[in-house]
Structure 1
Amino acid sequence: MAKVTISLDSDLAIEVMLLSGTRNPQDAVELIVRDYLARGRRTEARTGNAADQDRLTDRRPAVDEG
């Protein structure tokens, strides 16, 4: 897998390290990004994706106004 180098503000790196419970900023960012991606996949699995037209239809019953 290819590696990418990213510069972060030190405060942001420390906060990410605290959230992930790691002592290495590289490991911390990798864990946070992997968790973010996994969460997105779980959400798509539960709700469908934008190509799923069934969820875009109006399922509410029509209200008769009189």
Structure 2
Amino acid sequence: MARVTVSLDADLAIEVMLLAGTKSPQDAVELIVRDYLERGRRTEARTGNTADQDRLADRRSAPEEGR
């Protein structure tokens, strides 16, 4: 996998290290980014994605039965 170098403010790097519980800023940022991506995937799995909007729009526009 390709590597990318990113410059961060020292205070931000320290906060990320404390939040992630690591001693290395590189590891901390990697953990935070991986967690962010996984959280997005979990949210998408629970709520659907933009392709599901067409399917749901048809259901919402149909009149409700039994009223």
Runs of 4+ in 1 over 4 A off after TM superposition: none
* TM-score calculated relative to the size of structure 2: 0.81
- 1:34-65 per-position Cα deviation (integer Å, ceiling 9, x unaligned): 000000000000000011123345738x7xxx
* Larger relative helix fraction: 2
Percentage of matched positions with identical amino acids: 74
Within 5 A, what are the aligned runs for 1:5-24? 5-24=5-24
* TM-score calculated relative to the size of structure 1: 0.82
RMSD between aligned residues: 1.9
Count of residue pairs brought into register by the alignment: 62
> Is 2:56 the partner of 1:55?
yes
Q: Which sections of structure 2, spanning at least 5 residues, go unmatched?
A: none
- For residues 11 and 21 of structure 1, the distance between their equivalents in structure 2, rounded to whole angstroms, comes to 15
